[in-house]
Chains A and B, each alone.
Chain A
Amino acid sequence: MEFLLSTGTPVEKFIVMGIAILLFVAVMALVLFLTDRPRMPQWITVLAFLGPAALLVVFGLVYPAIVTMINSFQGDSGRDWVGLSNYAEVFGSPALRVVLLNTLLWVLLVPLVSTAVGLVYAVLVDRTRFEKLAKTLVFLPMAISMVGASIIWKFVYDFKPTSQPQTGLANQLLVWLGFDSQQFLLTWPWNTFFLIAVMVWIQSGFAMTILSASIKAIPDDIIEAAKLDGVTNWQMFRSVTVPSIRPAVVVVVTTIAMATLKVFDIVFTMTGGNFDTSIVANEFYTRSFVRAETGIGATLAVLLFVMVIPIVVYNVRQMKLAEEQR
């Protein structure tokens, strides 16, 4: 048993991985074999198919979420009840108010800018000769880890005094244009905007892909009818393209907003939340795991949860509406 828990060499790791997979396969096979007898009552089959997933989800999502909600009303030791004082601290302390404000900036700007860029780009490259390559270029950041993306952009923002040769592209451009080089990640609120740019860079490809697919699904006759009316390209974009793909736009905006709320890699990697760049997801990590302030950490996690709810509810309602219209 000890062997399964502590692995040193790569070979040991792969062996444990193999054991894990085999174990899983064996258990699943046994369950299915036992339940797949003739005249087995239906509920046993349901239990066999649904049970494992349900068990995991209840153990790993439902129960911990409830515990965390309870923890948010307790002190850091997790014994004493402190009522709403954690919440009061989150909304009351100036440092945490900046965190909330930053989070708001993130969740407003990332979805809007990513969707706008994705939409414009999708329209511009639609059915051109370079469409495939052009789309891959913008979509590729989705495959890179956010840590990788953060390093890429940290390098773009790299700072050297104006008199020295620049190594960061952004500052080199500034110097070429006759400005002084800047410490992009140092001054609030600009640093937050520069971090947001990284998330926009990652998410635009997602927006472009979904929107491009729905642009292509616009029926030809609508486009032709508009063309017979002699509309310009801009009018076509505004009065035909955008209204036709509105449901897709809603889905894209809400999906990116949800992803943005929970993301913490960019802030963690690029600034570590210093210089007033922290956001709720990052602050949660710092408080819970670095500073062992589990009460505040739990409160931040609950706030994250509360902020996601309306976005999801809106998303679901839009989806239902779209389904009814079909």
Chain B
Amino acid sequence: MSQATTVPDVPGPAPTKSTGPRKLTKAEQRAVDAKTRLSSPWASVIAIVIAILWSVPTLGLFVTSFRPEIDIRTSGWWTFFGDPAVTWANYDAVLYGGSTNFIDVFVNTIVITLPAVIIPITLALLAAYAFAWLDFPGRNMLFVAVFALQIVPIQITMIPLLTQYNNWGIVGSFWPVWLSHTIFALPLAIFLLHNFMMDIPRSLIEAARVDGAGHVKIFFQVLLPLLVPAIAAFGIFQFLWVWNDLLVGLVFGSSPDVAPLTVRLADLTGTRGTAWHLLSAGAFVAMVVPVTVFLLLQRYFVRGLLAGGVKG
């Protein structure tokens, strides 16, 4: 996915002082083209309209989360800019209020997310290693089978899984949530990490093997350092997915001791659908961590998307 068009700036025939147009590099040429394209008024209008439609709704809710409750009910958030009145009361109510208590569910979400990211990635790394570098009968067929499991919508697995968890007596704790997230992440994780691993030159592994390194040593000392960007990419992917998940949380972790932010938030829209001072502040409490992670690590996240989406 390299698109760097760093064509070296070829020096013209003779660097004269003439004001004649310098030959542009390809990258520059494309930038100029883009400019002419955007100078078409319709194109810029469309681009700006899309950008506004995609950011103003969030901005509106964000502004709302800082307005006094009475203002929220009686006027639109856009009037805020004419008559700004700011309060922390909404966040106070959401975080510490007896009925909402987002601090607790915030902790739940963290406790759910960390193992649900670490465990599937580790297991997937080992499996991907086996598929990429170990020879065994039926390897290709098994790999295709794992890939094909991405077809299975998690809905189809839920009732039987819940029955099992019930039999084991672990319902209402974090364990079913961790276990379910791990299971649901594995097919895609194995597939993506396998793809990344196949990009590592085979000679590197073979050289290590000649030196007498075992699989574990090869895995930790040769492969793992090279795989850090891939692990980061999928890690962010899985992190956002688990943090933002509603369905798994609702089905396997709906007991109040375990319920994540999303479940409490969805609950709030059902029971207090017009309490916008709670909903807006709550939504932003739930957003803070994933949006921060996303903005800081966007590069890796995009890398992960591209590796899974298109190759070439």
Interface centre among B72, B75, B269 (most CB of A within 10 A): B269
Chain A residues, Cβ within 8 Å of B156? 64-65, 68-69, 301-302, 304-305
B180 touches A60 (CB 8 A): yes
Contact A144 B114 (CB under 8 A): no
Q: Cβ of A69: which chain B residues have Cβ within 8 Å of it?
A: 156
Max chain B C-beta neighbours (<10 A), residue from A20, A35, A168, A223:
A20
Q: Is the CB of A312 within 8 A of B111?
A: no
Would you give the 0/1 interface string for B58-102, flagging 1 where the beta carbon is closer than 8 Å to chain A?
Answer: 101100100000001111111000000000000000000000000
Q: Which residues of A contact B44 (CB under 8 A)?
A: 124
Residue in contact with B280 in the complex, picked from A21, A155, A269, A304, CB distance below 8 Å: A155
Q: A17-B111, A20-B174 given as contacts; is B151 within 8 A of A309 (CB)?
A: yes
Smallest distance from the beta carbon of A41 to chain B beta carbons, Å? 11
Using a Cβ cutoff of 8 Å, how many contacts connect chains A and B? 354
The reply to whether A308 and B153 contact each other, CB–CB distance below 8 Å, is yes
Cβ of B243 within 8 Å of any chain A Cβ, yes or no, is yes
Bound form: Cα–Cα A22–B257 in Å: 22
Given A56-B183, A308-B153: A136 touches B298 (CB 8 Å cut-off)? yes
Q: Which residue of B lies closest to A1 (CB)?
A: B169
CA distance A251 to B246 in the complex (A): 25
Whether, in the assembled complex, A174 has its beta carbon less than 8 Å from a beta carbon of chain B, the answer is no
B134 near A49: Cβ-Cβ < 8 Å: yes
Chain A CB within 8 A of B38 CB: yes
Residue of B nearest to A198 (CB): B57
A217 to B53, CA, bound (A): 28
Q: Which residues of B are found within 8 Å of A46, using beta-carbon distances?
A: 130, 134, 136
B104 contacts A10, C-beta separation under 8 Å: yes
A167-B76 contact given A45-B134, A128-B38, CB 8 Å threshold:
yes
Closest to A11 in B: B107
Q: Is the CB of B173 within 8 A of A5?
A: yes
Docked Cα-Cα span, A252 to B130, in Å, equals 29
Size of A's binding interface in residues, CB under 8 A: 123
Q: Is the CB of A126 within 8 A of B183?
A: no
Check B77–A150 contact: CB distance below 8 A. Answer: no
Is B115 a contact of A305 with CB atoms below 8 Å? no
Give Cα A46 to B310, complex, Å: 30
Q: Would you call B305 and A262 a contact (CB within 8 A)?
A: no
Please, which residues of chain A bring their CB within 8 A of the CB of B290? 143-145
Question: A154-B269, A213-B302 are known contacts; what are 7 more A-B pairs with Cβ within 8 Å?
Answer: A8-B257, A13-B174, A45-B130, A145-B262, A169-B60, A209-B306, A216-B3
> Given A20-B174, A151-B269, A57 and B146 touching (CB < 8 A)?
yes
- B302/A209 in contact, CB under 8 A: yes
How far is A223 from B37 in the complex, measured between Cα atoms in Å?
14
Q: Does A166 contact B (CB under 8 A)?
A: yes
Which residues of chain A come closer than 8 Å to B269, judged between CB atoms?
Answer: 147, 150-151, 154, 269-270
Asked if residues A138 and B54 are in contact (CB atoms below 8 Å), the reply is yes
A212 to chain B, nearest CB (A): 9
CB distance A285 to B173 under 8 Å?
Answer: no
Known: A17-B111, A24-B115. A38 touches B159 (CB 8 A): no
Q: When the two chains form their complex, are residues B1 and A213 in contact, meaning their CB atoms are under 8 A apart? A: yes
Q: Which residues of B contact A223 (CB under 8 A)?
A: 30
In the complex, which residues of chain A have a beta carbon less than 8 angstroms from the beta carbon of B244?
143-148
Give the top 10 A-B pairs by smallest Cβ distance, nearest first.
A60-B183, A145-B244, A216-B3, A143-B294, A64-B160, A64-B157, A49-B130, A53-B127, A67-B160, A127-B34
A53 touches B310 (CB 8 A): no
B interface, CB within 8 angstroms of A: 1-3, 5, 26, 30-31, 33-35, 37-38, 40, 43-44, 46-47, 50-51, 53-58, 60-61, 64, 72-78, 104, 107-108, 111, 114-115, 118-119, 122-124, 126-127, 129-131, 134-136, 142, 146, 148-161, 164, 169-170, 172-175, 178-180, 182-184, 186-187, 190, 214-217, 240, 243-247, 250-251, 257, 261-262, 265-266, 269-270, 273, 276, 279-280, 282-283, 286-287, 290-291, 293-295, 298, 302, 305-306, 309-312
Q: Which of B61, B266, B310 has the most CB of A within 10 A?
A: B310
Q: A5-B172, A46-B134 are in contact. Are A169 and B56 (CB under 8 A)?
A: yes
A residues near B (Cβ < 8 Å) are 4-8, 10, 13-14, 16-17, 20-21, 24, 28, 32-33, 35-36, 38, 42-43, 45-46, 48-50, 52-54, 56-57, 59-65, 67-69, 71, 117, 120-121, 124-128, 134, 136-148, 150-156, 158, 165-169, 172, 201, 204-206, 209-210, 213-214, 216-217, 220, 223, 233, 247-248, 251-252, 255, 261-262, 264-265, 268-270, 272, 281, 284-285, 288-289, 294, 297-298, 300-302, 304-305, 308-309, 312, 322-323, 326
A-B contact pairs, 19 of them (CB 8 A): A13-B108, A20-B174, A42-B136, A49-B134, A56-B179, A127-B31, A137-B54, A140-B294, A143-B293, A145-B287, A147-B262, A151-B279, A156-B60, A233-B43, A265-B246, A265-B247, A265-B262, A288-B159, A305-B151
Q: Which residues of the partner chain A approach B114 to less than 8 Å between Cβ atoms?
A: 17, 21
A313 shortest CB reach to chain B, Å: 9
Point out which of A120, A136, A143, A272 has the most chain B C-beta atoms below 10 A from its C-beta.
Answer: A143
Q: Which residues of A contact B173 (CB under 8 A)?
A: 4-7
Instruction: Tell whether, in the assembled complex, residue B111 and residue A156 are in contact, meaning their CB atoms are under 8 Å apart.
Output: no
* List of A residues within 8 angstroms of B38 by Cβ: 124, 128
Question: CA–CA, A53 to B187, complex, Å?
Answer: 9
Closest A residue, CB atoms, query B42: A124
**Contact, CB under 8 Å: B310 / A247:** yes
Q: Looking at B53, B64, B129, B251, which has the most chain A CB atoms within 10 Å of its CB?
A: B53
Determine if B134 and A21 form an interchain contact, defined as CB atoms under 8 angstroms apart.
Answer: no
Asked if residues A121 and B186 are in contact (CB atoms below 8 Å), the reply is no
Tell me how far the C-beta of A207 lies from the nearest C-beta in chain B, rounded to whole angstroms.
10
